[in-house]
Structure 1
Amino acid sequence: MRKIICFLLFAALVTNFGLSVAQTRAASLEDQRLFINELMASNKNTIRDGDIGDPKHGTLGGAYSDWIELYNASSESVDLTGYSISDDGATWVFPKGNIPPKGYLIIWASDKDKVTSDGQLHTNFKLSTDGEIIVLKTPDGEVVDSVSYGRLADDESYGRSTDGGKEFLIFSQPTPNESNDNSQTIVLEPVFSHKAGFYTDEFELELSSSQEDTKIYYTLDGSDPKPGDTRTFEYSGKIKIKSRAGEPNVLSMINTGDYYWDPPLGEVFKGTTVKAVAVRSDGKVSRIVTCSYFVDPDMMTRYSLPVISIVTDEENLFDKNTGIYLNSNKSGADWERPAHIEFFEEDGTLGFSHYCGIRLHGGGSKGFGQKSLRLYADRGYDYKEKFSYNIFPGLKDKVTGKSITDFKRLILRNSGNDWSHSMFRDGLMHRFVSHLKLDTQAYRPSVVFINGEYWGVHNIRERYDNIYFASHYNLDKKKVALLEVTYYGSLVVNEGTEEDAKAYTNEIVNFLKSNDITQKDNYEYIKTKMDVDNFIDYQVANIFFANGDWPQNNVSMWKYKTEDGLYHPEAPYGQDGRWRWIIKDTDFGFAGPIMGADGITHDTLNHATENTKYEWAVFLFKKLLENSEFRNAFINRMADYLNTCFEPQLIIDTIDEMKDAIASSIPEHNARWQAISDWDGEVELMRTFAKERPGYVVDHIINKFSSFGVTDTYSIKLETDTSKGFIRINSIDLRASTRGVNIPESWTGNYFKGVPLTIKAIPEDGYVFDRWEGTAETSDTLVLMPTEDVNLKAVFKKDSSTECKITGYVEPDLISTAADIKSNFKIEVLDLNVSALTDEDGYFELSVPQSNTGYDFKVSKTNYLSREIRKDIVLGDMALSSKESPLILWAGDIEIDGHSNGAINMSDIVEMIKVFDTTPIDAEYNADMDFNKDNAINLKDILIVIKHFNTTSNNYK
């Protein structure tokens, strides 16, 4: 009997649930009369939006806005007032609008959010060229239609093959406000049988097209396939892709050096590049597909670096008159050439594939045989506007902390003037100061191939431009000003306008020339125009680096232009309107070219303040050093970093890590270019610099500032219980997360006599500062001027005044006469290891520390659907619920093998059926499924579960 009852119950649930869904779907299809019929996500030249009020495009008949076409398939007009349409990020409600029977309506996805005088509808969003979901809803929120589309090229539309039909196609000739029935589709790209990447064995590549009346053409030399071209082949059979070992060098034998050049030592490794296009009988062509293949028995382990394949017509690089690689003195947009790039991880996984523009990058280093290349992602080359991939793992923006994975510009750098030395010197210096208040360029070494031929190690780097600052600071790229100081002291505007250069000159340079910076008011003013902390870090870094090509060169500064042009201290970092300096082109530092080992002892501090040959270059720093607050901050900052991130072993570890990353690639790279004479010796010189440089910098500080009482150094030891609080010394938080702080519980550093030192004890949540040991001072903040070694300990104690009592009531959503039906519900504070259980009245209480960021509370019980409650601020006692309005929990989220799936669904019913019609005397009986506690698992318990069937924790209100 039990089996029969279980079967009937299960069948009834499945049948009723299935019929309900089927009836809903049938009704929606039958009633549908409005369709999203066609859309365009990149309208470049198809149709203007007719907005004559557009301030930029009105006189031309409006802008080329994205658009969505609706189609009314019914025999009656439809009033759209109150309907809504949305993309992945925004929803727009129709204030008006009418579609006639069998008619069309264009909605402009222009982000203008308005209705024009002639009734044109403009949404509050634009369409993504990468694809998204568009949803049309009735005023009461019922979905009328939704369309999901993928990436679209410029002036391509995505629409139903027939008006209101089920099939969608990409149209090469869009039909806004017209029937789709006779629209012309694009020619689809040819399909490759094998993915681009690494292979250990040769294979036969097949090319195919799903469309009739098309032919496929391909090339193997990087040129674009064109029927009739002698380099183009008509596809007629499988293409053998094999190892190219034994084939002669071609491109790598071209002399590309302006200063000197040597041919490769022997044969360079080669891959095969295939470019293919489908051509229809009417002459229409598809997009070109490019794939690179590398075949070698050891290919999967051949490289320990990412592999980048650049494919382009040979003439774009190596034509004597127009090739950028052989005309290194040329620059600018006129010397940009089209190319295709593929990024492979070291195991052959394809990261991204992209058509782009390429230019040469750099100054004097463009004369080397191997040159730096700048890559431009642009809609003119590819329907994807950005290189979208996690190229630099761990790279995050400075405002939101989100990963930066979209790039409009990239540099494949030849290591600049370090090309014939270490191949990672600039990347090293950027890396170990990247955590400071400085802008640096992310670094990742790679191996590059051009048209299949090995081209050596290139360092993937970010490029400084308005897009860089927009992505790193979450701001509008149009409001970025970026200036560069030339070798002759003049300002060049890289981003922004000449007015920005005038503003910098007047607000900072001219102000300092005509005002006494030792006066407090003047110094406070200058701090509103430039980020002084950033400028100090900038000086400290370059001086420690012994950067020989600075400050008379490689100086750039940027700012975000606020709406009113004023300083806004309340704004997020980088958005306050002040000028900031950036680290760039440090190749001559760290015992680099020119100075070599002499850089270890070089007095760069004196060079940066007393260089009479380039007085314009030292003026700003020299002038600010006249102010005692700035001077002391600079000296202390240098000491802060010498004690932490400039610590020799830390830098040596970074050197070794970066060396190990490219070590296996250096022999092949050097065989290709023959530029590095002693790579191991060069790396050892950098290690020596890291060991010895700090002592010389200390001497340079004392020599420079002895007239201000800076005569020697002293040692300071700071101790504390880091579980209760930490100590801040000047700009350094003595925490394990701070770079260079290895033992925060007992830390030792060296500082300069004659310079005031600021130390602050900072408690963790739930603690307060109690006292110092080692001094009679009682304040949590000390300003010291030690003349001898110092030993201090900060002591913290529990803060009883910050405890908050959290109370509430919990009840199950069921009927029961059991006295303990409300007991043993668990309330826990996530990430705090604090919890409590309810009593027989459902009451609970627990204590948590005060918090400005709040807590997440979780309420749970075995086989119940858990719920979470968020309180953003907890600064006092708080009730999560009351006896009259308790927190309700739903029974039925059955645990299987100790785990629940966060939903009440059919799997829970199945588990209930397994123990159905049992009592405590039965072996199958499970007390945790006897929800009403009547000592039997029966239909009442099943109905309790069914009451909230097909729900998740998100359904709680």
Structure 2
Amino acid sequence: MLFCNDLKMIVMIQFYKVLFFALLLCGISVNLKAQGLKINEIMSSNTFVVFDEDGDTPDWLEIINTGNTAINLSDYYISESKRTLLKWQLPIFNLPPGKTFMVYASGKDRLQIPLQWYTIIDVNQPWKYFLPNSEPSATWKSYSFAETGWLTGSTGIGFGDNDDNTVIPTGTISVFMRRKFTVTNLNELKSLWFHIDYDDGFVAFLNGTEICRAGLGTPGSPVAYNLSAASHEAKMFNGGSPDGFDISDFIPLLKENENVLAIQVHNAGTGSSDLTAIPFLTAGYENQAATTAPVSNFLQMPVLYPHSNFKLSSAGETLSITFKNGTVADSISYGIIPANYSFGRKLANPATWGYFSKPTPGSLNETEMFTDIVKSELQFSIAEMFLKNTRQLLFSGGVAGEEIRFTLNGNEPTMASTLYRGPITISKNTVVRARIFKPGAIPGKITTRTYLFDAPPTLPVISVSTDSLNLWDTQYGIYVLGDSYDTQNPNYGANFWEEWEKPASIEMTGIAGERVFALNCGIRIFGGWSRARPQKSLAVFFRNEYGDPVLENVQLFKSKPITSFKSIVLRNSGNDYDFTRFRDGFMTDLVKNMDTDIQAFEPVIMYLNGQYWGHINLREKINENYLASNHKVDADQVDILELESNIIEGSNSEYIDLLAFLKNNSLAPDVNYDFVAKQINIGNYIDYMLSEIYFNNRDWPGNNIKFWKPQTEDGKWRWIMFDTDFGFGLYNSNDFTLNTIQFALEPNGPAWPNPPWSTFVFRKLFENTRFKHAFINRFADMMNTTFAGASVVSKIDSIASIIQPEIQRHYNRWGAPSPVGWQNSVQTMRNFAMNRVPHVQSHINQQFIRAGIFEVTLSNFPAAAGTIKLNTIEIAGESWKGKYFENVPVTLTAKAVRGYKFSNWEVNGVTVLDETIVINLKKATTVKAVYQETFDNGNSVVINEINYNSAVENDAGDWVELYNWGRTDIDISGWILKDDDDTHQFVIPENAILKSKGFLVICRNSINFKAVHPFITNFTGNMDFGLASAGDVVRLFTNAGELVDSVAFKSELPWPVEPNGNGPTLELRHYSYNSLVAESWKTALENLGTPGRENSVTTGSDFVTSNSPEKQLRIYPNPFSTETKIKIENNRLGPMKIQIFSMDGRLVKSESVDGNEFVWQGDNQSGQKLLPGIYICKVQFDNQLLTGKVILGK
């Protein structure tokens, strides 16, 4: 029923609606509130001023109600785009007059408002608890469970560390706990957090449903009462905070009346020295709740401001706030705002904007304001880092009204620092830091230069400089213990365990003294237990707030062509601190050409605030930016997990689903295995696992585990290799004998290092025969190549020789390792390398095969006519041996090179015609791939010579030489040269005829090329792309898009290294050689290479100086088995010299004869019969040189 007044009200409402829309049609804007809501403060580069509920430091903005009445924020939108003013709607919230409201500009898009927090369960409150010696009733975690016989005690509950109110017996493996509690006003409850200080693992349940766990297997799986947890140290007893878990998704489990929180807490083992459980439960209400429970003194709950769906640009943009009808209420255009400064309105004069060094998020702008920023840049007159004599340093830069102040001890310059008035004498190791100041303005960027008078370095040098308080202050310093810490190693609770980031500067110089870079940055202590070492690892971050958002245009690592870095690590070698100091870098470098994600590695010398800080290892830092650089993925669209499934970035939901599938399904059926293989990159996983197993890394797989996937439909999980220090005999010189395969498959291992969860995926995959065979064969491939003893020792010795000159000096600084101890540790690694493979072969056989291990002998005939792909590796040459396993079939595919085609196999003397064969070994097996020569010139153009990094003094620019080895000219007009990027293309111009035996050079800069090679005319250009000095790909395509030839070269062994910046070029040894194999290439014997003419290293060349040589030199029979005649087809008389070369360039036979004929019986200079294969015959006579191929058969 409606009363009269109600009817009048309805009529009036309808009237005003009509009036409102009529006014709109007349073009009149109705907005009674817009003038009251303003943008008040902005921060576009935040690193420590404000933390959100995720622990991140997002950009933020603050709005203020300048009107006289409350404003409903949901009527407004904010945007950083002029084109989309209604981009993000503010949440429903009534903002009172004169009050401010903050929004995180994080891009996370969360409509949340500040909550009222109440801790429902706090420390020192009574719990029911039970110490089981058998499995309790499955209903123990439900509300209705009868707690008869359970003990009562207040938290914390546990033993050891003196942090427990209720002490239980030492050696307890687990304790089960319950506490009932009441919640009210569930409709107002918006957030729920569970915190716990625990040692070592737990599973928590709310009204019988699991809500979170740590250190105890996969979520949802049952945990036996006597299961050991992964090791985890409690934090509160050392002044730390308990770990927090947002369980807001479980709010629907709560009831208006009583509820129960149940927790089972597990120790790392019965021999552990401590166990602790101190749980908390905290509720967040939108409005005041009917409770007086305060927030626990041990907790700091997040202020839940909303998150916009966009971020603020650190380069500047226009920010606006707009009423819902499209009327702009306020807008502000801002430029670059220095890091951790805000840009806002002056309180006394809101129309005036300026910069605040002390921002005031969520409150009025009452601190000091600056109206300008110093933009001038400083220049130092001395560029080099290492000096020999006293020098005078001059500064330049700045304009009228500005002044330069500086320090000489690494501290940041302030207004109290020394004023620059003239030259500064530099006569000893000194860190000079200078900055431009101006009254009323934010000071300019700090510029730092380190000057050293020490001996010339044996390694590249990195110098880090920071204010001494950032390192050594008891309260703030990151390098010290501080005033509250555990006295036992590794000193948990010490300052160096905090994730504090301090501003610093970092410089690098090469061995030759060239300055590589000098930037501002942030530094944190990095690593695990090695934080307690005197020399600590540092993580280095480049950010906008430090003035240098990225380290770019610098190739830090020879092994990777990456030239842009957001962060790096200076690593003290972790557990290898006292031993070789390159163990982890060596192991990851060993497998860099496998399908592994590794951290690149370069040993360097470090200085800290001008003091020698010893040898340290420069490494990539594993994070989302590492993935973006290494895999060309979006850094903001990746999932990165660690250990069981702990989130580092993104989400773990897909991985949890994968674990559930593995748990509930056998992988024996291929259909199930194929489903898993669509989610796991099997090739990467196999290489990752077999590498860790070969290393015998015993701090794994229950530790040092990280894996990731791109957030795409076809994204697959990949595993990242890091922190392998325990491998290669770190603590046991004989651990090359240990069975790490069995260790990695252990179903009931201890909490560390191989608990059940850590071996689960590996165990499940071995249910499938295809995976098992793929794993075993790939491992065999690697043991026959990459992990072969002599090859591994060579790599160990190569790295050791680089570091060895610095060991004595490092020992003098830090006391370890001694030079003798270091040599002994290196020898331990050599011994491991020489002995490991036979033991692993035996372990594989014991675990999976229990049958034979047989030798396989492979050969190509002729030797240079092709290669054999054996499983995953490619075999070139005339003889190769490796060991493989019975009942694990191996696959072989013959691949002919240019000028040849596959003929047949000879398998233990039996002819087989298929190009691909599968062999199930039952005995030692000999396999020969036989090829036939062809004369098809359609594909006779090869990439013959590459100049990818000229010497500075003779910079011809990058160039590539093509060679036509065929017998006919080829029109290569429109053919395309590319590197590894398909967008980088050089199209060969029209009318380009590459003659038989002819050359064409394609150069990047024809002017530079002509300046260095003035007599070369057969060249073209210009390429609009260059070749990377770390290595690159060169590909040649026809005008129809067909691949003609390709080379993927590197600037490190086994590829020739001299062509990288030293003058010589990279030359192909013979046109028939496989250009993808490093052994097919050599360093040019001539300093600037041989563009446009015969290569200086050509083996068995077809290049001749006489006319129509094929009519003059005759070799018959060819092929031959007993003897062949080498004859000049003319009537000349007189001496001639015959030389026979193998295909790798070795002279095997040399004879001088009178006459025009020589009989060769396939022997060497000593009369020994040579192996079958292709040989090159060179005949010199009458100032002429003739060459030809000769094939020695069986």
TM-score when normalising by structure 1: 0.61
What one-letter code is carried by the residue in structure 1 that aligns with 2:914? S
SS at match of 1:444: strand
Indicate the residue corresponding to 2:460 in structure 1. Answer: 306
1:757 aligns with 2:890: yes
What one-letter code is carried by the residue in structure 1 that aligns with 2:405? Y
Indicate the residue corresponding to 1:783 in structure 2. Answer: 918
1:211 aligns with 2:243: no
Indicate the residue corresponding to 2:236 in structure 1. Answer: none
Indicate the residue corresponding to 1:290 in structure 2. Answer: 448
Residue pairs, 1:105-504, within 5 angstroms? 186-228=374-416, 232-243=417-428, 271-282=429-440, 285-296=443-454, 299=455, 302-327=456-481, 329=492, 335-395=500-560, 403-485=561-643, 490-497=644-651, 501-504=652-655
Judging changes above 3 Å, is the alpha-carbon distance between structure 1 residues 338 and 866 closer, same or farther for their aligned structure 2 residues?
closer
What one-letter code is carried by the residue in structure 1 that aligns with 2:1040? I
Indicate the residue corresponding to 2:768 in structure 1. Answer: 627
Identity score, percent: 31
User: Quick check: 2:746–2:759 contact (8 Å CA) kept in 1?
Assistant: yes
* Deviation (angstroms), 1:196: 4.4
1:641 aligns with 2:775: no
Counterpart pick for 2:721 among 558, 580, 583: 583
What one-letter code is carried by the residue in structure 2 that aligns with 1:188? S
* Deviation (angstroms), 1:119: 14
User: Quick check: 1:197–1:292 contact (8 Å CA) kept in 2?
Assistant: yes
The whole-number CA distance in structure 1 between the counterparts of 2:473 and 2:542 is 24
Judging changes above 3 Å, is the alpha-carbon distance between structure 1 residues 433 and 866 closer, same or farther for their aligned structure 2 residues?
closer
SS at match of 1:626: coil
Q: How many residues align?
A: 642
1:832 aligns with 2:954: no
Indicate the residue corresponding to 2:730 in structure 1. Answer: 592
User: Quick check: 2:599–2:621 contact (8 Å CA) kept in 1?
Assistant: yes
Judging changes above 3 Å, is the alpha-carbon distance between structure 1 residues 789 and 805 closer, same or farther for their aligned structure 2 residues?
closer
The whole-number CA distance in structure 2 between the counterparts of 1:55 and 1:357 is 34
The whole-number CA distance in structure 2 between the counterparts of 1:207 and 1:482 is 46
Judging changes above 3 Å, is the alpha-carbon distance between structure 1 residues 191 and 691 closer, same or farther for their aligned structure 2 residues?
same
The whole-number CA distance in structure 1 between the counterparts of 2:781 and 2:798 is 24
Indicate the residue corresponding to 1:666 in structure 2. Answer: 807
The whole-number CA distance in structure 2 between the counterparts of 1:867 and 1:689 is 52
The whole-number CA distance in structure 2 between the counterparts of 1:637 and 1:804 is 33
Judging changes above 3 Å, is the alpha-carbon distance between structure 1 residues 384 and 579 closer, same or farther for their aligned structure 2 residues?
closer
Residue pairs, 1:479-628, within 5 angstroms? 479-485=637-643, 490-497=644-651, 501-507=652-658, 509-562=659-712, 565=713, 567=714, 577-593=715-731, 596-610=732-746, 612-613=748-749, 614-628=755-769
What one-letter code is carried by the residue in structure 2 that aligns with 1:656? D
Judging changes above 3 Å, is the alpha-carbon distance between structure 1 residues 647 and 865 closer, same or farther for their aligned structure 2 residues?
closer
Indicate the residue corresponding to 2:1075 in structure 1. Answer: none
Indicate the residue corresponding to 2:836 in structure 1. Answer: 693
SS at match of 1:326: coil
Instruction: For residues 550-586 of structure 1, give each alpha carbon's deviation from its aligned partner in whole angstroms, at most 9, with x where no partner exists.
Output: 1121122111121xx3x3xxxxxxxxx1111121110
SS at match of 1:197: coil
SS at match of 2:825: helix
1:796 aligns with 2:931: yes
Indicate the residue corresponding to 1:113 in structure 2. Answer: none
User: Quick check: 1:445–1:458 contact (8 Å CA) kept in 2?
Assistant: yes
Judging changes above 3 Å, is the alpha-carbon distance between structure 1 residues 318 and 872 closer, same or farther for their aligned structure 2 residues?
farther
* Deviation (angstroms), 1:187: 4.7
* Deviation (angstroms), 1:760: 0.8
Residue pairs, 1:868-947, within 5 angstroms? 871-873=1038-1040
What one-letter code is carried by the residue in structure 2 that aligns with 1:524? D
1:771 aligns with 2:904: yes
User: Quick check: 1:856–1:871 contact (8 Å CA) kept in 2?
Assistant: no
What one-letter code is carried by the residue in structure 1 that aligns with 2:672? N
The whole-number CA distance in structure 1 between the counterparts of 2:843 and 2:893 is 28
User: Quick check: 2:446–2:520 contact (8 Å CA) kept in 1?
Assistant: no
Instruction: For residues 328-372 of structure 1, give each alpha carbon's deviation from its aligned partner in whole angstroms, at most 9, with x where no partner exists.
Output: 745798511111000111222111111111111111111111111
- Kindly name which structure, 1 or 2, has the bigger radius of gyration based on alpha carbons: 2
What one-letter code is carried by the residue in structure 1 that aligns with 2:703? N
The whole-number CA distance in structure 2 between the counterparts of 1:632 and 1:64 is 48
SS at match of 1:618: helix
Instruction: For residues 4-25 of structure 1, give each alpha carbon's deviation from its aligned partner in whole angstroms, at most 9, with x where no partner exists.
Output: xxxxxxxxxxxxxxxxxxxxxx
Judging changes above 3 Å, is the alpha-carbon distance between structure 1 residues 833 and 315 closer, same or farther for their aligned structure 2 residues?
same
Indicate the residue corresponding to 1:728 in structure 2. Answer: 869
* Deviation (angstroms), 1:717: 2.7
Judging changes above 3 Å, is the alpha-carbon distance between structure 1 residues 461 and 480 closer, same or farther for their aligned structure 2 residues?
same
SS at match of 2:868: strand
The gaps in structure 1 that reach 5 residues or longer are 1-41, 66-106, 111-116, 121-128, 130-150, 157-170, 174-182, 244-270, 396-402, 568-576, 736-743, 807-827, 838-843, 878-897, 901-957
SS at match of 1:291: strand
The whole-number CA distance in structure 1 between the counterparts of 2:442 and 2:317 is 29
Counterpart pick for 1:719 among 860, 867, 873: 860
Counterpart pick for 1:50 among 79, 82, 89: 82
SS at match of 1:198: coil
Indicate the residue corresponding to 1:924 in structure 2. Answer: none
User: Quick check: 1:803–1:847 contact (8 Å CA) kept in 2?
Assistant: no
What one-letter code is carried by the residue in structure 1 that aligns with 2:730? G
Judging changes above 3 Å, is the alpha-carbon distance between structure 1 residues 773 and 557 closer, same or farther for their aligned structure 2 residues?
same
Judging changes above 3 Å, is the alpha-carbon distance between structure 1 residues 615 and 653 closer, same or farther for their aligned structure 2 residues?
same
SS at match of 1:630: helix
Which of the two has greater helix per residue? 1
* Deviation (angstroms), 1:711: 3.1
The whole-number CA distance in structure 2 between the counterparts of 1:449 and 1:715 is 52
What one-letter code is carried by the residue in structure 2 that aligns with 1:479? Q
Judging changes above 3 Å, is the alpha-carbon distance between structure 1 residues 284 and 689 closer, same or farther for their aligned structure 2 residues?
closer
The whole-number CA distance in structure 2 between the counterparts of 1:293 and 1:780 is 64
Instruction: For residues 301-344 of structure 1, give each alpha carbon's deviation from its aligned partner in whole angstroms, at most 9, with x where no partner exists.
Output: x2111111111011111111211111474579851111100011
User: Quick check: 1:719–1:747 contact (8 Å CA) kept in 2?
Assistant: no
The whole-number CA distance in structure 1 between the counterparts of 2:372 and 2:645 is 53
SS at match of 1:549: coil
User: Quick check: 2:373–2:442 contact (8 Å CA) kept in 1?
Assistant: no
Instruction: For residues 774-812 of structure 1, give each alpha carbon's deviation from its aligned partner in whole angstroms, at most 9, with x where no partner exists.
Output: 332211111111222212221233567894899xxxxxx
The whole-number CA distance in structure 2 between the counterparts of 1:528 and 1:421 is 42
Judging changes above 3 Å, is the alpha-carbon distance between structure 1 residues 836 and 829 closer, same or farther for their aligned structure 2 residues?
farther
User: Quick check: 2:595–2:687 contact (8 Å CA) kept in 1?
Assistant: yes
User: Quick check: 1:340–1:353 contact (8 Å CA) kept in 2?
Assistant: yes
